[in-house]
Amino acid sequence: MLEPQRPVYRAYVGYEQMSLEEKARGLVGQPVGLAMANGQGVSGIICGVQGGEVYVLQYLYARQFATFHYPLRDIRDLYPYPSCQPAAAYGSGQS
């Protein structure tokens, strides 16, 4: 059984006390999951933080991507993606 990896951001002293804007600024260029205040989830890469909004590049379909912006007030928290496990951890890879 795979052990869950501890997210990298937990290593930062005071991460839990950082404002959402500080967290977002520290994660620019990184893949993240956004926990929205309405209970939905969003994933993508943070492109920037400006004017009280987080800009996230998201995959749509085929070769299409789009940047969406979300007001900080609508985001409950941000979670950076964990590192991938080595392929050997998932078995032979045959289906």
Rounded CA-CA distance 69/14 in Å is 26
Residue ranges covered by each domain of the chain: 8-82
Ramachandran class of 49: left when φ > 0, alpha when ψ lies in -120 to 50, beta otherwise = beta
* The listed CATH number (3.40.640.10, 2.30.30.100, 3.40.50.1950, 3.40.50.150) that belongs to domain 8-82: 2.30.30.100
- What does the DSSP 8-state code read for residue 90? G
Give tens-digit pLDDT for 19-62. Answer: 999 999 999 999 999 999 999 999 999 999 999 999 999 999 99
pTM of the predicted protein model:
0.75
